[in-house]
Amino acid sequence: MTIIIKRSALKDTWLLSCVEILKNGKKIHDERGQNTLEVRNLIMETINPFNQYQNVKSIWTPKDFMFSRDYLNEYAEQLLDPEDKDFVYDYGNRLRGYFLDDKDCPIDQIEEVIKKLKNNQNSRRAIAITIDPVIDNKEEDIPCLQQLTFLIRDSKLYITALFRSNDIGMAAFANQYGLLYIGTHIAKRLGINVGALTVHSVSAHIYETDIEAIKYILSKNGWDF
């Protein structure tokens, strides 16, 4: 079953996603031996994430949120950092410095997206991937974020992300905050504004160990469990 949550602000999209999983999630014992509540094919659309400011610092966070603005900004900046930080994978590295061309030069997928959209604003080819099937099929930790697609429509940059797995409780807000940071980087180069962010999570889940913390934040934002 596909679940669609659509709100204007990122904080409301995230809060409602948590509510949906806590109310309707099925218990799943995952590959790491942890208990989770899961919903499948959760689509989260944030229609107007920046208000009028086009800056991630204008994104509202929920009351009593577990992550500081400094943490969110640092995380977001890492998504555009091409350096390999010695983890099994780093999103910034996969997006900007991991894959090689026929001359063994790193492919900056974000720059390629910008080039494609500058060349043709109606392009459907402005995508970036993180998955490396040669390496990742041998690893336990593989990218949760698999693909980013960028479209210019109505003179705005629309972002769609596909996650194979998404920790909604403790990661999804930061993930989407970072994706919007990437979006502003691209949109600025194109001279346009960012439109909606759509995130499709195939497995959207909250870990059992995080449930009480999420319920606390929900209670501080008007949701009673």
Based on the residue annotation, tell me whether 144 is a catalytic residue of this protein.
yes
Tell me, what amino acid is at 93? N
Q: Where are the domains of the chain?
A: 43-201
pLDDT by 10s per residue, the chain, length 225: 899 999 999 999 999 999 999 999 999 999 989 999 999 999 999 999 997 788 998 999 999 999 999 999 999 999 999 998 766 689 999 999 999 999 999 999 999 999 999 999 999 999 999 999 999 999 999 999 999 999 999 999 999 999 999 999 999 999 999 999 999 999 999 999 999 999 999 999 999 999 999 999 999 999 987
- Return the H-helix or E-strand segment holding 36: strand 35-46
User: Which among 139, 193, 115, 130 is positioned nearest to 164, based on CA atoms?
Assistant: 130
Name the token pair of 92. 């910034």
Name the token pair of 42. 């959760």
Name the token pair of 20. 């949906």
Task: State the fold for domain 43-201.
Answer: Thymidylate Synthase; Chain A (3.30.572)
Residue of 22, 144, 174, 182 marked active site:
144
110 in Cβ contact with 93 (< 8 Å):
no
Instruction: Please give the DSSP secondary-structure letter assigned to residue 61.
Output: -
